[in-house]
Chain A
Amino acid sequence: MRIAWQLIVAIFLALNAGLIGGVDSRYAGDVCASALQQGGTLFYGLTLSPSGIDPHVNASSELGIPLRSVYDTLVYRVASSPEETAQQFVPGLAEAWEISQDGLTYTFHLRRDVKFHDGTPFNAAAVRANLERIVDPATRSQKAVFLLGPFHSVEVVDEYTVAIHLSAPYAPLLDGLSQVYLGMASPQALARWGADYQFHQVGTGPFRLEEYVPNDHLTIVRNDEYAWGPPIHAHQGPAHLERVVFRFFTDPAGRAIALQAGDVQVMGEIPPLDAVRLQQDGGFTIVPVPIPGQSLGLILNTQRPPLDDVRVRRALLFATNREEIVQTIFGGFSPAATGPLTAATFGHIDLPAEVVRFDPDEAARLLEEAGYVDSDGDGVRDRDGQPLLLDAVLMTWGSLPEVAQLIQSQWRSIGVQLRTRTLTYPAALEAARTGDYHLIPQNYAGGDPDLLYTYYHSSSTFNWTRAADAVLDDLLVRARQVSDAAARMELYAQAQKRIMELVLLIPIRDPVNLNGVSTRVQGLRFDAHGWFPILHDVRLQ
C-alpha cells in the first residue's frame, strides 16, 4: 500500500513539474505585457476538420477561415449595409473592372506590383491558369466552378488585363470572384504539385501556408512582402501577427473549455449556453457574426397534402412563436428571421411585421377555413377522417431537434401534430430528393441573393418547396441577368415578398456564428461573407 501511495505522489509531482515547463510556456513572456504587440502566435479553433483544403476543389467554410488570409481575390465584397445601393465590391488584385453592355464579358485590370509567395509574378496569365484549372472536369471542383456560373472562357487581353466571357448574363459573378474559393494561386505551384497542391498552397495573401497536418493543425505565417491589401483591411503593409495556428474542435461541448484552458484564443461556433457562461466569466468576449445567406427555416413541401393548401401553410407560420425559440434555445444571440434571407444578406428586406406575425388565433381560424376541425376530440384537428399530422425531417446541426420540440408544442396548441425524424445529412438529402417530408430544414450560406434562384426556382433540384410559381420564377431569372445593383435589389425585394405570400417556408432564425475571443485578441473582424476572419489586422495584447 505504501508503495502505491508513493507512486501516486510521484506521478503528482511529475505532472506538476511538467506543468511549469509545459502548457503555458508558449505564452510566457508576453503574459505581463499589456501593450499591443507586433508579432506573436494566435491559436484559433476550427469546428470541423475539413476533408480537403484546396479552395478550388473543396467546399467547406472551415477551409476558408485560414485560407482567406493566404489568398487574395480579384475583388472584395463589402459588408451589407442599409445603404445597399452603395458600392458592393472594392478592388483586390483587380484595380478596376468593366462589365459589357450585354453582361457577357467582365474585363479586369490587374495590379502590377503583386508577387505570389514563391516569387512568381501575378498577371493575366496567372488568372487564366487559375480559372482554367477550376473549370477542368479533372479538378472535380465542389464549389469554385459553380461560383463561375455560365463560364465560357477566359482571355488574356494583355499582361495585366484579363477578360472573363460568359455564355449567359450572370450578375452573381463578382460575388463568386470575391470568395476564397476563387482565390488566385501561383500557377507554378499548381503545375508543380498537381493533386497534392493542398499541402503546398501558394497565394498572394498576407499570410502563407506553412504546414497542414490533416485532423491535427494548420499553420500560416506572415508574408513580410505584403503591400497590396484591399481597402477592407484596416492597415496596409504586412500583417501584425507572426503566425496563426488552427486546430480542430469537432465536439461542441469541448469548445468553451479549450478556450478557457488557454489552448486557443479564438473559437468559432460556441454553443449559445456556453457563450452566456463565457461572457459572465470574464476574460472572453463573444463576437456574434451574422452569416449572410438563407435564414434557418423549415421548407414546406407544397406538393404534399395538406401543405398544398396555402391556408394551412400560413396557419403553421402564424402558429410558430419564433421569439420564444430564439430566446429559449439560442439565448437571444440569434435574431428571429423574417423571410428567406438573413438580415446580413445583400438585398434583404424587412417584410411588414404582420406577414410573419405570431397569431395562434388567426392560425386556428385559417385551419377551420381549410376544413380542419377536431371532430373526435383527441386534440388533433382532422378532415375527412384524416388527422392533421405532419412529418418533419431534421438534422442534428443548428439545435434543430430542440427547435422542433418547441414547435411541436406550439403547434399542438392549435391542434396540429408534428412527427419528426432526425437523419444524417446524406439521408436527409435523399428524403429531399424524393419529396418524402412535409417540412425539412434548409440553410445554405452565400453573400449574393441569387441563392434564392437555387432554392426557389421551379427548375432547381434544390427547390425543396416543390412549388412552381411563374411570377417567382420570372423575378429570379431576371434578377440574375441584371447587373445594375439597384435594379437587382428591387427584383429580389419582390421575390422575397412573393415567397412569403406563398408561404414557402417558416423562417426561424438568422444563423449567427458565436465566436469566443480572448480579451488578449484585438482587432478581430469578419468579412462580408461572415465565416471568414480578417486576420491581417489582428494583434495580441
Chain B
Amino acid sequence: MLVLVARRLVWAVFALWGITTLVFILLRVLPGDPARTILAASGASETAIAQARAQMGLDEALPIQYGRYLWNLAHGDLGRSLFSNRPVLVTIAEQLPPTFELAAAALVVTIVLGLGLGVLAARYAGSWLDRVTVGIAVLGVSTPLFWSGLLLIWLFSLVLRWLPASGADSWRHLVMPAILLGAVGAAPLVRVVRSNLLTILQTDYITVARGKGLPETLILLRHALRNALLPGLNLIGLQAGFLLGGAVITETVFARPGLGRVVVDAILWKDLPVVQGTVLLIAGIYIIVNLGVDLISIVLDPRQRET
C-alpha cells in the first residue's frame, strides 16, 4: 500500500512538471506581448514598451526564462503578476477560499443528487420517474452553465425573490451556484449509478437475496449499491476537474469572487505568471483528488489491493 502511494506521488510530481512545462511553452507560443498590452491604452512609445518588457524579464532568451521559472518554483516562488505586480501566491491564497467553498458545496450536491437520483432511477427502472430523471440528466449535461445560471437567477432572484443574484456574502449566496454546478456535475453520475445498479441487479447474488425474501429497497441499498459505487467514485474524481472548470463560469455568472475569474482574465490578458501559477494549482488539486479516489476505491474493493 505504502509503495503504491509513493509510486503515485512520484508520478504526480512528474505530471506537474510536464504540465508546467507545457503551459510555459503554450503561453509563449501564443501571440501577444504583455508589456505592449499593459501600455497600449497609455499610448506609450516603443522605447517605453521595450523598457517595461525588460523590467518584466521578458526580453531574455526562453531557456533562461524557463530555467529561472523552475528555479523559483522549486523555492516556492510563483512570481508576480505582470499587471498588478502582486505575488501570485498571495492572489491564489486570497481567491482560493471562495472557489473551494463553491466546489465543495457543489461536490456535495453532485454526490447527493447523483447517488439519490441514480438509485431512484434504477429502483423504478422503466417507470415515468426513471424517464424523467434520465431526461433531466441529459438536459443537465447538454445545457451550458452560463445559460442555465441566468435562468436560475431570473427565477429565484427576479420572479420569486428568494435568493440574491450576485456576490458571496453568506450561505444564501452559495445556494444557487452550488446547486447549479452540482446538478450539472451530477448528471453523468446519475446515468453511471443507474446503469451499474441495473447490471448488478441482474447478477446471481441479488437473485439469491431476492429469493431469501429481502425487501427490494434493502437489497438495493445494502447489497447492490456498494458494488455500483466504484465506477461512480472514479467518475467523482474526474468530476473534480469539471467542478473547477465549471466554477470559472459559475463565478462569472453569479459575480462571485474566486480563482475562476482570475484565471480567465489572466489568460485573456496573457498575465504569464498568474496563468502558470493557477494552472499548476488546479492540476495539483486534480491529481491529489484522483489519488484520493484511487486510495478510497482500494479500501472499498479488496480485489484492487493485490495490484
Contact = CB atoms under 8 A, between A and B. Distances in A.
Interface string A467-482: 0000000000000000
A261 B36 contact: no
A215 B36 contact: no
Contacts, number: 162
B207 interface: no
B36 A249 contact: no
A49 B154 contact: no
A381 to B, nearest CB: 31
Interface stretch (A154-162, A225-233, A428-436, A532-540): A428-436
Contacts of B168: 216
B157 A51 contact: no
A15 B37 contact: no
A258 B163 contact: no
Interface in B150-191: 150, 153-154, 157-158, 161-168, 170, 172, 175
Nearest to A60: B41
A57 interface: yes
Chain B interface bracket (under 10, 10 to 19, 20 to 34, 35 or more): 35 or more
Contact of B85 (A195, A444, A460): A195
A15 B162 contact: yes
Interface residues of A, number: 53
Contact of A213 (B83, B153, B257): B257
B31 A250 contact: no
Contacts of B253: 251, 253-254
A63 to B, nearest CB: 11
Contacts of A454: 43
B169 to A, nearest CB: 9
B175 A424 contact: no
Interface string B59-99: 00000000000000000000001011110000100110010
A383 interface: no
B166 A52 contact: no
Contact of B34 (A15, A215, A426, A461): A426
A345 interface: no
Nearest to A18: B172
Contact of A257 (B34, B36, B45, B150): B150
B230 to A, nearest CB: 26
Contacts of B130: none
A425 B268 contact: yes
Interface string B225-248: 000000000000000000000000
A257 B38 contact: no
Contacts of A486: none
A424 B268 contact: yes
Interface string B246-258: 0000001111011
A18 B150 CA distance: 21
A282 interface: no
Contact of B84 (A24, A52, A257, A462): A52
Helix, strand, loop or mixed for chain B's interface? helix
A51 B153 contact: no
Interface string B283-295: 0000000000000
A77 interface: no
A327 interface: no
Interface stretch (A95-103, A140-148, A284-292, A517-525): A140-148
B9 interface: no
B164 A250 contact: no
Contacts of A57: 85
Q: Which 6 pairs of residues, A with B, have the shortest CB-CB distance?
A: A426-B32, A454-B43, A52-B84, A261-B165, A51-B83, A215-B257
Interface of A: 15-16, 18-19, 22-24, 49, 51-52, 57-59, 137, 140, 142-143, 146-147, 195, 213-217, 247-251, 253-254, 257-258, 260-261, 263, 423-427, 429-431, 433, 444, 451, 454-455, 460-462
15 contacts: A18-B172, A51-B81, A51-B84, A52-B83, A58-B83, A142-B38, A214-B95, A216-B168, A217-B167, A257-B150, A257-B158, A261-B164, A263-B166, A425-B269, A427-B31
Given A215-B258, A460-B43, 18 more contacts: A18-B162, A19-B161, A51-B271, A52-B84, A52-B86, A59-B41, A214-B95, A216-B257, A250-B252, A253-B253, A257-B150, A423-B31, A424-B32, A426-B30, A427-B32, A429-B36, A429-B40, A454-B43
